[in-house]
Structure 1
Amino acid sequence: MIYFPYFRGRQYDLQALKAIAEQQILPANIIPIIEPVRDIRGLPQTIGAFINHDHPVVVIANPTVSDYALTQQKLYDWQVYRDSPQLIVGHVLTPTLIPTEILATPDQTTLLIAHQYDELKVAQAAGWLTHPDYVLVPPEARIRQLLTRPTISLFDHAWVPEHDRSYADITDGFFSNDWQLAELNGYAGFSDYTIGGSHYSERGYPAKAVTLHLTYFQGAQLRIHRFVSTDRTDFRHPKEKFFQAVAQLAEWLPQQPAATRTPAAEQLTAYHDQHHFPGLGVVKRLSLEHHLQLMAAYFKMHFPTQK
């Protein structure tokens, strides 16, 4: 079983991944995917952290959710690591993707992401699907019937409230059991967008509430708990709202099993004890670190590898 957690290359995503790479806790069958979205120093630094610690990482060569791909001259280019055996080059299948981009380096490990059935069918007819080492597809029955080789399911589990709803409406709920569905449906592994979700906004958007998102296991089921500030009337006072949310975490976490009390979750709780507001970027980073620390421990127990 392989897990490909999918990240956009925002600053806090990269900071979380770099920290995880340096902690050297991921088993070999958890391989992060990075889709670059900004030309920032953290991108090659994060990729370099995985390479230097001998852990595989996927980088999308044709990102599709920002204008990063249109920037001709990169200040912080990740291509310096392209020849590393630990680097897996990913491609998103699009109508404009040139097949030679996938086939050009047969000695390099590659990954192909296909979001649409019709594009996938064209790629199969053209013979492009025999070359990538990994193919990520939506978990749809018609796609499973189309493909004969082992594939990876890709699904977005993150819930984003719309209109007049908020995270306070559903503070606890099911998140994923994709590894079970993968075994049932014949997938070689699974991929998701972790707690961040697949939606990407170049500038982000303000929220009236501060919400801490923490995944945890209940038996074999991965669930998510949301700690939401009680003040949700306007966009002001994020510091005070953070303390409202983290106070709930500080009460909840000590009651959880040891596996849930990861170093990242404990660090978040420490901000409550210290009455310190680290900034929402740090909060997001630690929430992502917690998810990876949690999944790493679960995989080591249930899907052990040689690493």
Structure 2
Amino acid sequence: MYFPYLRGRQFELLAIRELVENKLIGSKIIPIVEPIKPTSTLLKTLNCFSEEDHHIALIHNPKVGNYKKALDNLKDETLKDKLTNSLHKHEVIPAHILNNNSVSELKYIENKENLIVILNDTDHINNYLNIFNTEKPIYTLTPDESSFRRKIKNSRVLLADRFSKQLRNADYVNIEDESFSEDHLYYRDDNYSGFSDFSIVGAEFSETGFAPYAVVIHIVYFDDQMSLRIKHFVSDTNDDITDPAGKFYEALEKLINWNYSKNIDTLGIREFQKHYKNGTYPGLGTVKKIAIMHHIELINNFLEERLK
């Protein structure tokens, strides 16, 4: 099982929505969304998963953004009610980040056995064991550390940030190609029920955006041993923030030329090929969306083939 951990940014929500709409992810993938603000895009994504009878997990106590406060103050009562009631949908699995207030935060969750828990702090392990003494969550995401392995035995999911984020996009010029992950190969050997990562975005969260000097496209791919690597395609004219469309095309051309020999075929790659052919620039958010779609579809294809 693969649990891509995504924040509620629009491009991340659109990525998983387009994948499920195109039936490109199966039952072996359950996205986990930590919402950052109440939006119609979030609601449409949850509704889409429900309509397609596909599970998605929604964190009800997010630690990034201002979701809960913004939801309480939302003037659109219809949107507010629908988002509030979304956790009652059969396809929407409630998820919870363990913290000092978990006892009070969980009192509104009726069935703790239908809950995904994110336990990423050793200080909360005993709290977890006390809360889930009898009712065990369906999955618990933990780092691959001895403290968690010794004490958490039921349906553990390996949670790791496999994306090596650089300070500046231009810094990827010095890396180009690097190892990404082998979790998909060995998670069962290590007694995990699944694995989770933050895709090509990384765990670090920031609500502020900025105009980059360089445009980079991050593409994961399998090597000959089926380990995942990541290739960084970086623009060339990186002296200032002007002409992002031209920078995108420089990076995109490198991706297209590289894929002539790789022949990777996913919806994401085909979208990049369309932009290259048409000379179009979709914006940096859409570039990330397409790269996330490619990553998740690639993992889906691997799991569908391996776990037949």
For residue 100 of structure 1, report the CA deviation from its aligned partner: 5.8
Aligned position for 2:268: 264
Q: Can you give the 5+ residue segments of structure 2 that lack an aligned partner in the other structure? A: none
Cα separation, 2, equivalents of 1:273 and 1:108:
49
Q: Please list, as runs of the form range in 1=range in 2, the aligned pairs for 1:113-152 lying within 5 A after superposition.
A: 113-127=118-132, 130-152=135-157
- Aligned residue pairs: how many? 301
Aligned position for 1:69: 68
Aligned position for 1:251: 257
For residue 174 of structure 1, report the CA deviation from its aligned partner: 0.8
- RMSD of Structure 2 on Structure 1 (CA): 1.9
Deviates more, 1:54-63 or 1:174-183: 174-183
Aligned position for 1:208: 213
Deviations 1:119-174 (A, max 9, x none): 11232144458432111111102210122323111000111113797111111111
Aligned position for 2:97: 92
Go from structure 1 to structure 2 and tell me whether the alpha carbon gap of 1:27 and 1:163 turns closer, same or farther (over 3 Å shift): closer
Structure 2 counterpart SS, 1:152: strand
Q: Does 1:233 align with 2:232?
A: no
**Identical positions, percent:** 28
Deviations 1:245-271 (A, max 9, x none): 0111111112114xx221211221221
Cα separation, 2, equivalents of 1:89 and 1:278:
33
Deviates more, 1:289-298 or 1:50-59: 289-298
Structure 2 counterpart SS, 1:173: strand
Cα separation, 1, equivalents of 2:133 and 2:37:
29
For residue 104 of structure 1, report the CA deviation from its aligned partner: 3.4
Q: Please list, as runs of the form range in 1=range in 2, the aligned pairs for 1:1-307 lying within 5 A after superposition.
A: 2-71=1-70, 72-74=72-74, 75=76, 76-77=79-80, 78-99=83-104, 101=106, 104-106=109-111, 109-127=114-132, 130-162=135-167, 166-218=171-223, 219-257=225-263, 260-304=264-308
Go from structure 1 to structure 2 and tell me whether the alpha carbon gap of 1:70 and 1:103 turns closer, same or farther (over 3 Å shift): closer
Cα separation, 1, equivalents of 2:188 and 2:31:
20
Structure 2 counterpart SS, 1:297: helix
TM-score (norm 2): 0.92
Deviations 1:50-77 (A, max 9, x none): 1100000000000101111222134434
Query: Is the Cα–Cα contact under 8 Å of residues 35 and 58 in structure 2 kept in the other structure?
Result: yes
Query: Is the Cα–Cα contact under 8 Å of residues 113 and 136 in structure 1 kept in the other structure?
Result: yes
Structure 1 counterpart SS, 2:103: coil
Deviations 1:54-111 (A, max 9, x none): 0000000001011112221344342333222211100101112235616731277211
Cα separation, 2, equivalents of 1:150 and 1:129:
14
TM-score (norm 1): 0.92
Cα separation, 2, equivalents of 1:154 and 1:197:
12
Structure 1 counterpart SS, 2:4: strand
Cα separation, 1, equivalents of 2:236 and 2:166:
16
Deviates more, 1:179-188 or 1:84-93: 179-188
For residue 181 of structure 1, report the CA deviation from its aligned partner: 3.3
